[in-house]
Structure formats: structure tokens, C-alpha cells
């Protein structure tokens, strides 16, 4: 247990250089990109030299870059990610609004991915080379190669438009937004299509990893040992095979969850989902740098935290992974 | 002494089943893209309660497949029982419902495998795995299973078993893992223990200890053992009877003494001449069997060993000899096995005495002479083997960290 705490602390220390690297990179990008930040802050309108000067001073734009970086970092440490150029709001308050939507979508998508992906993978491994297996493997191949935005558009036109027409308006799924008071649908219904779209590719990958891992584990000697003890096939798979096969699957799902939590730009854009990814996408097109920088920094923090959680969860599945000790074997 | 322990066992009154296990003309084929592989082609033997049968042959001789098919563990497809029968206490195991077969696996017939590291599940504690059979077959609850696991580990000579049950296989040394495998296999006190190359993956110094442990367990529990090995030396002083296999077929079958003192088949001679001897003698160099075993797909006509047999005649290359009774309980699949002159002129008889003496000293599988004290302990006393002390102390320290 002590070793585990030490390991976690050490990982936190490792966050520091990653964090500095990412922020430096973003700062450098802002500096080399064309365009005068003062004009962007002013909304690209003509302004008086006095106003111009005031904006420069307020934003420390007259200071050298490394000093500006110092201001920015000290702001972050106090929880201040700056203000949006165009919205006049603090970056933290913007993301505080957007993040719950992204999180809701990510949780829904990861649930779809886990339930369907694992089931498909397990079924096709157990029934390997059967018609069912070939059908499922073919489906996952199609899904993997399908661009996300295109799948989103297909689902929209099928469930949102075609269904509505065919059923005379009796049944359809919402294709835009996250619900709210003006929507005709309950909020959770709005999640269905974006969650399926966001989960699609990863679901297929999860199923394939699960299938290949389970097949590999099922050919291991200890599976034969389990059969030799008199266990039933069901018990062998559930008790002896799955736990061993899960480790790579968990890695993939965990990393995927991290990237979903940091916003799915394509899915959120196609479904006008008011999440982090869409916000950053809009900020990039509008060159609203504080939002882009603040957004990326927040994403980095989230991804690092989730990766740490994944690493810790390995230990629960594989006793050979023991953190904080140096074992020769 | 080991032999005396065995003798006592044999003179004791044995349980009622005369033939605990019978294999009759067993044929196991594998259907592959290149053709049908006849991995086991007509194997018969019987095993009595408390007896040890050695099954010896090179890789690919079909000995492991024979063992796996007894427990119904041959993957099907591609495997297929193409003929013959396996009877346990008179009951056929072939075509038995999976549910009934599961009652036999681990409960009446248990198996240990070559590589104890890969044969143990890496993500479960050793104690849980050792006692798993008791939970399925005997309905033990968690506490009972754990308590019994501790007893079993203690029984197979694993020190500090209370702590060891809570450890994982990777925290055990190779010899300890095989001890744990043996404990696992013996958990339900099966009538038969099948050991598939139990010492091959182990250090030479550990091999003798594992063999001794198996003998002690056999003595204490009365378990019959089928010992599968490519090394005639391993079964030399443990087996009551020996079956020599080649290319999926039995080539010689008899008592251990018959196989050692009066071997009849040229393949058995070859195996014996490949055993390293205690003394180096320039006149009698180690003589390997030349060539490789044949592919089991489309075996040529005639004796499967004819291509490598220095005595092969045209008859051998054209006709396949069937295994036949030569003398009292001694079978051989060679046309010339009943030709006394041929047998007596074989090169093996000079060495037989010495090999047997070596076997008695436990040297064939270790190359190291056991001293008298050690050999005495092997009989039944719980004197810890040398391996215990060093691995135990280092590992106990590690796992506390």
C-alpha cells in the first residue's frame, strides 16, 4: 500500500515536466502564428491608439515572451486560465459550462463501447470461425474503416430524417444539440446517436482486441490445467480466461476514455453537441487563443489523471505488476 | 531406499480394481491441411491401482496426446478419436458426456504438466488454484479450501505454507511451482496422476527432488502414476512397467526390469545408448539415434523406425510389424524380437547392468550421485529437500516488500 502511494506521488511529479512542455509548446505556437492578438481581443475592429495601448498593457503583451509565460503559469496555478478574447468570459467558466456535456457524452459512449465491444469480442472468440464470428468480424472491420463524421451523418439521415418520414413523424431520434427545455425529446434521447457515433470505431477496436486476447489466453497452458481440474467451459472462460485477457482491453478502453473526456471534435461538431471539443474547434477557427490554450491544458490534466488511473487499475488485474518495488522477476 | 519403498507398496494389499485404467487400441488423429496426422495409432496398456507406468519416446511419438486423450483434453477439432477405447474402472471415457467427464477430471484422474509456470494461472493466488478442485468436487467453502491448501502445500514440502498460499505463481521458484502443481493435482486424492514430462522444464538439481516427491506421494496416497517422458533415465527407478512409443505406435511394453535388462526393440536400444553414463569410456561413446522421427502424415509402408534402424531389412521396409507378446508380459513390435541370436548380439547388453545400477543410485536423471542419507529420506520422511532452504529464504524476504 505504501509502495502504491509512493508510486502515485512519483507519477504526480512526472506530471510537472509534461505540463511545462505542453504549455511552452502552445505559447510558442501562439507567438509564431500570424495576426495581432490586440486586434483579436478588440474584435478586429478599428480602435484608438489609447485603447490599443491599454489592451497591450492589460494583457502584458509588451513584455518579453518568457515573462508572459510566467504570468500565464502563475495564473494557472491560481486557477486562472485567462479570459476569452471574444466572449469576455473567463476560460474556466466557459469550460465549466461545457465540460459536463462532454463528460456525459463520454460516459455514454464508453458504456456502449464496453457493453457491445466486450460482448462481441467474447462471443466471436468463443464461437471462433463460426458463421457468427465471421459476421461479427466483418461488421467490426466495416466499422473500423468508417470515418466518424460520415457514420454520424448516416445515422442522422437514417434515424432523424428517413425514420421520421417512414413512420409519419411517430418515431425519430434527435440529431442536434443536447436537449434542454425547447427540445421535443427527453435529454437522454439526445445522447443516443452521438454516443453510438463516438463509440463506433473504438467499439470495433475493443471487440477485436478482446477477441484476439481471449483466443490467445484460451490457448495457454493454464487453461488446459483448469479443464484438467474439472471446470466447465463456462467457468474456465469466466474465471480463468477473462481476467487474463482483460489487461490490454482495459488499457485501450482507458486511453480511449481519456480522449473522449477531452472532447470529441468530430462527433460534437456533427451533432452540434455543446461540449469541450466543439468549443475548442470553434475557438481555433476564431483564433481565440486563451480558450484554445486553456482547453488544451485542461485536457492534458484530464488525460494524465486518467492514464494514472489506468496504470493503477492494472495492479488489480495482474498481480505481477507491483508498483514501487524493483523485482528482478 | 527408494526401491524398498516401492517394494513395500507392491507387496501391500491393493484396492479391488484390478485394471484401474485400460487403453485398448487407442487411435487419435488430427485433421490438418496437409493431411491426417495419426498422432496415436493403436496404443494399448493397462494400469493397476498404485502402479507406475512410464511412457517413453521422442518428441512427436504420441505420448502426450495419449495422456491428454485420457482426460478428453485433446482439442476437437482438429483432433478426433479415430478408434479404440479408454476405460476407467471399466467405464468408457470416450463419448462420455462432458458433465460426467468433468466429475472424473481432477477428481479421479489428475494431471500435471511440463512447464509449471505456464500451467499455473498468473493472476490467481497459488492457494486458490491448489484448492480449486476441492471447491468444485468436494463443495469446500473458502475457509475450508484455504485450510486444505495450506496442508497440501505443506505435504509437498513447501515451507511456510500459511504465507505461500497467499502468493502468486511468479513469486515461486520453478521447483516450488511444480510442487504446487503436484499439490493441486493431488488435492482430491485422485486414483491416477498423469505426469506429462514433469521434470523437463526444471533444473537438473530440482528434477530428482520432484521425482522423489512424486514417489513419496504415491507411497502415502496409493496413487497410480503415468509418467510421460522422453528420458528413459527418468522412469528408470520409478516405473513398474514401461511403454516405449515411436511415431504414434507402441514399440515395446514390459516391466521396467524387462525393458532395462532384456530390451527387445532396436529403438529401445537406441534410447538406452543415448543415456549418459557415469563413467567416460572411450570404447563406448554416447550413441545418438541418427536422423529424426518421421512425419506422421503419410507414413511410408513398413516399420516406422526402419529408416533409422541400423538392423533394418527389406522385410522391415515393406511390411509393418505388429506388436506381439515375446515372453512373459513383454511385448515388442519388431520382426526379429523373437530371434534369440539377434537379440543377444545387440550392443546394449554390455551396458544394461551399469545403467540399472546408475538408475538405482538416482543418477540417470541428475548426473549427480545422491548420498545415502538423501536417498533414505526420499522414501517417506519429510526432510526438506535442498531446494527448500535457499529459495524459501530469498522469496519470503521479497514478498514482504
Inter-chain touch A228–B170, beta carbons under 8 Å: no
Q: For residue B6, is pLDDT > 50?
A: no
Cα–Cα distance, A219 to A7 (Å, whole number): 34
Cβ pair B108, B86 in contact under 8 A: no
Instruction: Using the structure block, give the residue that is written with the C-alpha cell 520382426.
Output: B335
Inter-chain touch A228–B111, beta carbons under 8 Å: yes
Among B119, B171, B398, most A C-beta atoms within 10 A, so best to mutate, is: B119
The pLDDT of residue A196: 92
The pLDDT of residue B362: 54
When CB atoms are compared, the residue of B103, B120, B398 closest to A327 is: B398
Average of per-residue pLDDT values in chain A: 85
A244 touches chain B (CB under 8 A): yes
pTM above 0.90, yes or no: no
Name the more confident of B349 and B4. B349
Question: Closest approach of chain A CAs to the CA of B294, in angstroms?
Answer: 26
**Residue B79: how many CB atoms within 10 A of its CB?**
19
Give me the residues paired with residue B24 across strands. B85
Q: pLDDT over 90 for what percent of chain A? A: 22
Pairs from B343-350 (Cβ < 8 Å, separation ≥ 24): B343/B262, B343/B264, B346/B263, B346/B266, B346/B269, B347/B269, B347/B273, B347/B287, B348/B263, B348/B269, B348/B272, B348/B273, B350/B284
- Report the range of poorest mean pLDDT among A80-89, B46-55, B143-152: A80-89
**Residue A326: how many CB atoms within 10 A of its CB?**
6
Cα–Cα distance, A165 to A158 (Å, whole number): 10
Rounded to an integer, the average pLDDT of B266-295 is 73
Residue B110 phi/psi, 5° resolution? -120, 165
Question: Closest approach of chain B CAs to the CA of A252, in angstroms?
Answer: 20
- Please name the helix (run of DSSP H) or strand (run of DSSP E) that holds residue B37, with its range, or none: strand B35-47
Query: Which residues in chain B touch residue A320, judged by CB atoms under 8 angstroms apart?
Result: 122, 168, 170
Q: What is the DSSP string of B203-239?
A: -HHHHHHHHHHHHHHHHHH--EEEEEES-HHHHTTT-
Q: For residue B196, is pLDDT > 50?
A: yes
Cα–Cα distance, B60 to A111 (Å, whole number): 48
For A91, half-sphere exposure in the C-beta direction (CA atoms, 13 angstrom radius) is 23
**Burial class of residue A164, CB neighbours in 10 A (0-12, 13-18, 19+):** middle
Average of per-residue pLDDT values in chain B: 78
B322 touches chain A (CB under 8 A): no
Kindly state the DSSP code that residue A128 receives in the 8-state scheme. T
Cα–Cα distance, B170 to A321 (Å, whole number): 11
Inter-chain touch A228–B73, beta carbons under 8 Å: yes
Rounded to an integer, the average pLDDT of A108-118 is 93
The pLDDT of residue B15: 44
Q: What is the pLDDT of residues B197-247, one digit of tens each?
A: 888 877 777 788 888 888 888 888 888 999 998 888 788 778 889 999 988
Kindly identify which residue of chain B lies nearest to residue A232, measuring between CA atoms: B102
Name the pairing type of β-strands B192-196 and B109-112. parallel
Q: For residue B398, is pLDDT > 50?
A: no
Cα–Cα distance, B6 to A128 (Å, whole number): 48
Inter-chain touch B133–A327, beta carbons under 8 Å: no
Q: What is the pLDDT of residues B63-117, one digit of tens each?
A: 889 989 998 888 887 888 888 889 888 888 888 888 888 988 988 999 988 888 8
Kindly identify which residue of chain A lies nearest to residue B115, measuring between CA atoms: A221
A32 touches chain B (CB under 8 A): no
Question: Closest approach of chain B CAs to the CA of A212, in angstroms?
Answer: 18
Q: pLDDT over 90 for what percent of chain B? A: 7
Inter-chain touch A225–B105, beta carbons under 8 Å: no
B111 touches chain A (CB under 8 A): yes
The pLDDT of residue A328: 39
When CB atoms are compared, the residue of A227, A320, A325 closest to B122 is: A320
Q: Which of residues 138-197 of B touch A (CB under 8 A)?
A: 168, 170-171, 181, 184
Q: What is the pLDDT of residues A214-252, one digit of tens each?
A: 999 998 889 999 999 989 888 999 889 998 898 889 888
pLDDT band at B311 (very low <50, low <70, confident <90, very high): confident
Inter-chain touch B121–A229, beta carbons under 8 Å: no
Cα–Cα distance, A122 to A115 (Å, whole number): 11
Query: Which residues in chain A touch residue B120, judged by CB atoms under 8 angstroms apart?
Result: 222, 225
Rounded to an integer, the average pLDDT of B372-401 is 40
The pLDDT of residue B237: 77
Angle B266-B269-B270 (CA atoms, 0-180°, nearest 5)?
90
At B36, is the secondary structure helix, strand, or coil? strand
Inter-chain touch A225–B121, beta carbons under 8 Å: yes
A313 touches chain B (CB under 8 A): no
Give me the residues paired with residue A124 across strands. none
When CB atoms are compared, the residue of B73, B107, B398 closest to A224 is: B73
Kindly identify which residue of chain B lies nearest to residue A317, measuring between CA atoms: B123
Rounded to an integer, the average pLDDT of A113-124 is 93
Cβ pair B336, B342 in contact under 8 A: yes
Comparing C-alpha atoms, which of B236, B208, B238, B237 is closest to residue B225?
A: B238
Among B79, B98, B121, most A C-beta atoms within 10 A, so best to mutate, is: B121
E strand map for A149-235: none
Provide the number of CB pairs (under 8 Å) joining chain A to chain B. 77
The pLDDT of residue B349: 61
Q: What is the pLDDT of residues B320-379, one digit of tens each?
A: 888 888 888 888 888 887 777 777 777 666 655 666 666 665 555 444 444 444 444 444
Rounded to an integer, the average pLDDT of B117-125 is 89
When CB atoms are compared, the residue of B107, B119, B125 closest to A225 is: B119
B54 touches chain A (CB under 8 A): no
Dihedral sign, Cα of residue B304, residue B306, residue B311, residue B312: positive
Q: Which of residues 212-241 of A touch B (CB under 8 A)?
A: 220-222, 224-233, 235, 240
- Report the range of poorest mean pLDDT among B282-286, B356-360, B389-393: B389-393
pLDDT band at B280 (very low <50, low <70, confident <90, very high): low
A1 touches chain B (CB under 8 A): no
Cβ pair B238, B50 in contact under 8 A: no
Phi-psi label, residue B120: left if phi above 0, alpha if psi -120 to 50, beta otherwise:
beta
- Report the range of poorest mean pLDDT among A182-186, B30-34, B225-229: A182-186
Cβ pair B272, B348 in contact under 8 A: yes
Q: What is the pLDDT of residues A269-296, one digit of tens each?
A: 889 888 898 998 888 888 888 888 888 8
Cα–Cα distance, B400 to B328 (Å, whole number): 59
Residue A326: is the preceding peptide bond cis (ω within 30°)? Answer: no
Q: For residue B13, is pLDDT > 50?
A: no
Inter-chain touch B123–A318, beta carbons under 8 Å: yes
B95 touches chain A (CB under 8 A): no
Inter-chain touch A229–B136, beta carbons under 8 Å: yes
Q: For residue A209, is pLDDT > 90?
A: yes
Residue A173, C-alpha cell as written in the block: 431520434
B97 touches chain A (CB under 8 A): no
Inter-chain touch A228–B103, beta carbons under 8 Å: no
A329 touches chain B (CB under 8 A): yes
Cα–Cα distance, B323 to B172 (Å, whole number): 44
The pLDDT of residue A150: 92
Q: For residue A120, is pLDDT > 80?
A: yes
Q: What is the DSSP string of B68-137?
A: HHHTT-S-TTTEEEEEEEEEETTEE-TT--HHHHHHHBTTTEEEE-S-HHHHS-TTS-HHHHHHHHHHHH
Cα–Cα distance, A159 to A195 (Å, whole number): 14
pLDDT band at B18 (very low <50, low <70, confident <90, very high): low
Amino acid at each position: 500500500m505504501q509502495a502504491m502511494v509512493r508510486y502515485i506521488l512519483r507519477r504526480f511529479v512526472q506530471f510537472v515536466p509534461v505540463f511545462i512542455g505542453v504549455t511552452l509548446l502552445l505559447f510558442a505556437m501562439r507567438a509564431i502564428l500570424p495576426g495581432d492578438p490586440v486586434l483579436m481581443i478588440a474584435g478586429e475592429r478599428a480602435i484608438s491608439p489609447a485603447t490599443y495601448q491599454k489592451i497591450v498593457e492589460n494583457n502584458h503583451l509588451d513584455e518579453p515572451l518568457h515573462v508572459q509565460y510566467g504570468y500565464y503559469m502563475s495564473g494557472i496555478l491560481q486557477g486562472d486560465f485567462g479570459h476569452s478574447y471574444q466572449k469576455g468570459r473567463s476560460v474556466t467558466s466557459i469550460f465549466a459550462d461545457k465540460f459536463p456535456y462532454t463528460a456525459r457524452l463520454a460516459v455514454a459512449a464508453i458504456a456502449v463501447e464496453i457493453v457491445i465491444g466486450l460482448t462481441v469480442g467474447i462471443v466471436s472468440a468463443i464461437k471462433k470461425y463460426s458463421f457468427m464470428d465471421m459476421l461479427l468480424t466483418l461488421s467490426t472491420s466495416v466499422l473500423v474503416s468508417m470515418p466518424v463524421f460520415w457514420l454520424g451523418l448516416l445515422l442522422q439521415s437514417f434515424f432523424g430524417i428517413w425514420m421520421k418520414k417512414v413512420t409519419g413523424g411517430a418515431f425519430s431520434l434527435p440529431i442536434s444539440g443536447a436537449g434542454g427545455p425547447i427540445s421535443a425529446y427527453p435529454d437522454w434521447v439526445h445522447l443516443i446517436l452521438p454516443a453510438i457515433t463516438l463509440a463506433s470505431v473504438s467499439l470495433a477496436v475493443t471487440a477485436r482486441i478482446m477477441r484476439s486476447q481471449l483466443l490467445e489466453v484460451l490457448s495457454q497452458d493454464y487453461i488446459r490445467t483448469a479443464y484438467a481440474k474439472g471446470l466447465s467451459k463456462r467457468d474456465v472462460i469466466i474465471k480463468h480466461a477473462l481476467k487474463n485477457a482483460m489487461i490490454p482491453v482495459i488499457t485501450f478502453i482507458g486511453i480511449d476514455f481519456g480522449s473522449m473526456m477531452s472532447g470529441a471534435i468530430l462527433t460534437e461538431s456533427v451533432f452540434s453537441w455543446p461540449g469541450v471539443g466543439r468549443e475548442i474547434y470553434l475557438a481555433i477557427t476564431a483564433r481565440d487563443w486563451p480558450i484554445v490554450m486553456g482547453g488544451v491544458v485542461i485536457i492534458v490534466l484530464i488525460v494524465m489523471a486518467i492514464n494514472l488511473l489506468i496504470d493503477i487499475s492494472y495492479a488489480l488485474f495482474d498481480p505481477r505488476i507491483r508498483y514501487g518495488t524493483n523485482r528482478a522477476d | 531406499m527408494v526401491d524398498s519403498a516401492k517394494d513395500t507398496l507392491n507387496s501391500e494389499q491393493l484396492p479391488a480394481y484390478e485394471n484401474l485404467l485400460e487403453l485398448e487400441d487407442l487411435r487419435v488423429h488430427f485433421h490438418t491441411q496437409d493431411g491426417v496426422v495419426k498422432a496415436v495409432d493403436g496404443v494399448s496398456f493397462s494400469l493397476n491401482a498404485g502402479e507406475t507406468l512410464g511412457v517413453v519416446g521422442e518428441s512427436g511419438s504420441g505420448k502426450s496426446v495419449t495422456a491428454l486423450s485420457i482426460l478428453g483434453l485433446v482439442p476437437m477439432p482438429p483432433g478426433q478419436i479415430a478408434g479404440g477405447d479408454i476405460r476407467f474402472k471399466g467405464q468408457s471415457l470416450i463419448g462420455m458426456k462432458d458433465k460426467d467427464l468433468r466429475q472424473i477430471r481432477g477428481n479421479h484422474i489428475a494431471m500435471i504438466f511440463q512447464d509449471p509456470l505456464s500451467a499455473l494461472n498468473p493472476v490467481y493466488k497459488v492457494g486458490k488454484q491448489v484448492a480449486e478442485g476441492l471447491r468444485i468436487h468436494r463443495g469446500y467453502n473458502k475457509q475450508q479450501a484455504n485450510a486444505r491448501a495450506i496442508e497440501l502445500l505443506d505435504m509437498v514440502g513447501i515451507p511456510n505454507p500459511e504465507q505461500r498460499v497467499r502468493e502468486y505463481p511468479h513469486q515461486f521458484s520453478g521447483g516450488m511451482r511444480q510442487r504446487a502443481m503436484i499439490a493441486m493435482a493431488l488435492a482430491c486424492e485422485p486414483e491416477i496422476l498423469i505426469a506429462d514430462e514433469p521434470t523437463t522444464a526444471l533444473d537438473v538439481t530440482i528434477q530428482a527432488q520432484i521425482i522423489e516427491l512424486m514417489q513419496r506421494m504415491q507411497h502415502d496416497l496409493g496413487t497410480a502414476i503415468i509418467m510421460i517422458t522422453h528420458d528413459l533415465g527418468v522412469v528408470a527407478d520409478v516405473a513398474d512397467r514401461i511403454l516405449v512409443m515411436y511415431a504414434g505406435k507402441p514399440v515395446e511394453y514390459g516391466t521396467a526390469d524387462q525393458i532395462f535388462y532384456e530390451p527387445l526393440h532396436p529403438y529401445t536400444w537406441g534410447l538406452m545408448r543415448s543415456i549418459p553414463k557415469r563413467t567416460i569410456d572411450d570404447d563406448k561413446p554416447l550413441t545418438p539415434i541418427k536422423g529424426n522421427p518421421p512425419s506422421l502424415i503419410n507414413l511410408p509402408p513398413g516399420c516406422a523406425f526402419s529408416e533409422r534402424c541400423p538392423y533394418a531389412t527389406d522385410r522391415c521396409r515393406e511390411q509393418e510389424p505388429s506388436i506381439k507378446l515375446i515372453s512373459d508380459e513383454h511385448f515388442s513390435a519388431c520382426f526379429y524380437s523373437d530371434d534369440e541370436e539377434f537379440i543377444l548380439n545387440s550392443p546394449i547388453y554390455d551396458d544394461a547392468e551399469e545403467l540399472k545400477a546408475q538408475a538405482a543410485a538416482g543418477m540417470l536423471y541428475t548426473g549427480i550421485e545422491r548420498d545415502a542419507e538423501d536417498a533414505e529420506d526420499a522414501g517417506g520422511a519429510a526432510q526438506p529437500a535442498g531446494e527448500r532452504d535457499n529459495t524459501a529464504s530469498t522469496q519470503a524476504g521479497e514478498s514482504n516488500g
